[in-house]
Amino acid sequence: MTNPDRETILIVDDQEENLRGIGNVLTVMSYDIVLANSAVQAYQQLFARTPDLILLDVMMPETDGLSACRQIKSNASWADIPVIFLSADDDKNVIVQALEAGGVDYVTKPFNMAELVSRVRTQLALKRTKDQLRALVEDKDEIIGILAHDLKNSLAGMRLSASLLQSRLAELPSRCAPLVDNIVNASERMLAFMQEFLANQCAEQLQLKSIAVDLCHVASRVASNHQAAAGVKKITLTTSLPNEPVHVKADPEGLAQTLENLVSNAIKFSSEGGSVEVTVQQPMAGMAKCLVRDTGPGFTHEDRTKMFRRYGRLSAQPTGDEPSTGLGLSIVKRLVEAMGGTVILAENSGVGAEFVVTLQITHSKTAET
């Protein structure tokens, strides 16, 4: 009978002597042992209980250890189980194949039992550490998500209240005006940070779809959404788009968020009276490009080395006192790469900056996911 508090090791070997010998030693070491004399029997044991470690013989009839390991790793429920291969074959090519199949270690027969126990302990310790880190990351993400959403709601309420006060300044003493303005500005900055922070968290965890998306339609919609913001700063926001749709493999929300960030940044860092242009080029060599060009201050050489880092502080500052968190470009890079594309800052000897997003085109209505 197995003990749920003890680590379980599945031993797979077609030799009864090996199963008994290794099993007895590891049982003495206080591990729960499960035995299988073939790959088929190993799958049955895995379905019955997921072990913490697998010791797998390479040379077995019917299904060999390498094939069995690949099959095990193809199942998401078993993919993280460390596999130590056992074999009398010390051929370097076989060892490489074993590791490429998903094994974490390779022990040749006849082996020293103390060495085997040491390697078992090492791999189990590594798995425990990995499991603990995964749990910590999950806890961190959950706590941050809760705090961020609660803070965002509180800040939104604060901004609304301050905005109402701002609209009634005529009814308040004159000395209240700068205080109310400070509250409105501070709440807007904090809310903008929380929104980008949440967007960054989502970008890290997002499982993006890969379907056919009309790049021209998304670019046009994003530009339209930012016309009001551009108008406030007297910035001319234009688009240059092909007459025909340009379908790319992308996630609709991910692509929209990418262009939203780039266009928003372009407006934010351009001076009053400047211009921002969003261009979709005709596809070439199976790829389509969307360019976002502005007449802002551009980027220094030092900026280029850190511009896609999270919270990277760059030399340029928003020209209209807009909030800047240092997260926008890191989110763009993460989203674009998750969609199989690239984003770069083009070399530009003139004024301003030009970001180029490149994505694979598709001719199907629904691309592969």
Residue with more model confidence, 88 or 311? 88
- Please, are residues 260 and 203 in contact by the beta-carbon 8 Å criterion? no
On the 0-12 / 13-18 / 19+ scale of CB atoms within 10 A, 154 is middle
Weakest-pLDDT range from 3-7, 135-139, 288-292? 3-7
Per-residue pLDDT at 26: 93
Question: Given this model, what pLDDT does residue 151 score?
Answer: 72
Q: Which residue from 87, 80, 22 is spatially nearest to 51, judged by alpha carbons? A: 80
Q: Please tell me the number of Cα atoms within 13 Å of 334 on its side-chain side.
A: 19
Would you state the pLDDT for residue 367?
44
Residue range 317-331: mean pLDDT, rounded: 64
368 pLDDT tier (thresholds 50, 70, 90): very low
Please state, in angstroms and rounded to a whole number, the distance separating the CA atoms of residues 328 and 159: 22
Kindly state the DSSP code that residue 171 receives in the 8-state scheme: G
pLDDT for residue 149 is more than 80: no
pLDDT at 224 over 80: yes
- Look at residue 50 and give its three-state secondary structure: coil
CA 95 to chain centre: 32
The Cα–Cα gap between 183 and 298 comes to 31
In CATH, the number for domain 211-360 is 3.30.565.10
- Domain ranges in the chain are 8-111, 137-205, 211-360
DSSP assignment string, 64-118: -HHHHHHHHHTSTTTTTS-EEEEES---HHHHHHHHHTT-SEEEESS--HHHHHH
What is the rounded CA–CA span in Å between residue 311 and residue 330?
8
How far is Cα 252 from Cα 256, in angstroms, rounded to an integer?
Answer: 6
Q: Distance (Å, rounded) from C-alpha 141 to C-alpha 156?
A: 22
Q: Helix H segments across the chain?
A: 16-28, 39-48, 65-73, 92-100, 113-167, 176-205, 215-225, 227-232, 252-269, 301-306, 328-338
Q: How confident is residue 148, by pLDDT bands cut at 50, 70 and 90?
A: low
Cis peptide before 110 (omega within 30 of 0): yes
Confidence at 369, pLDDT banded by 50, 70, 90: very low
- Encode pLDDT of 333-356 as tens digits: 888 998 999 999 988 656 788 999
Collapsing DSSP states into helix, strand and coil, what is residue 213? strand
Query: Rounded mean pLDDT of 12-38?
Result: 92
Q: Do domains 8-111 and 211-360 have the same CATH topology?
A: no
Region 175-181 average pLDDT = 86
Q: Which two tokens stand for residue 274?
A: 């400047």
Lowest mean pLDDT among 28-32, 214-218, 279-283, 312-316: 312-316
Three-state secondary structure call for residue 320: coil
pLDDT in tens, 53-108: 999 999 998 899 999 999 999 998 999 999 999 988 888 898 999 999 999 999 98
Query: Does 3.40.50.2300 match the CATH number of domain 8-111?
Result: yes
For residue 236, what are the β-bridge partners?
Answer: 275
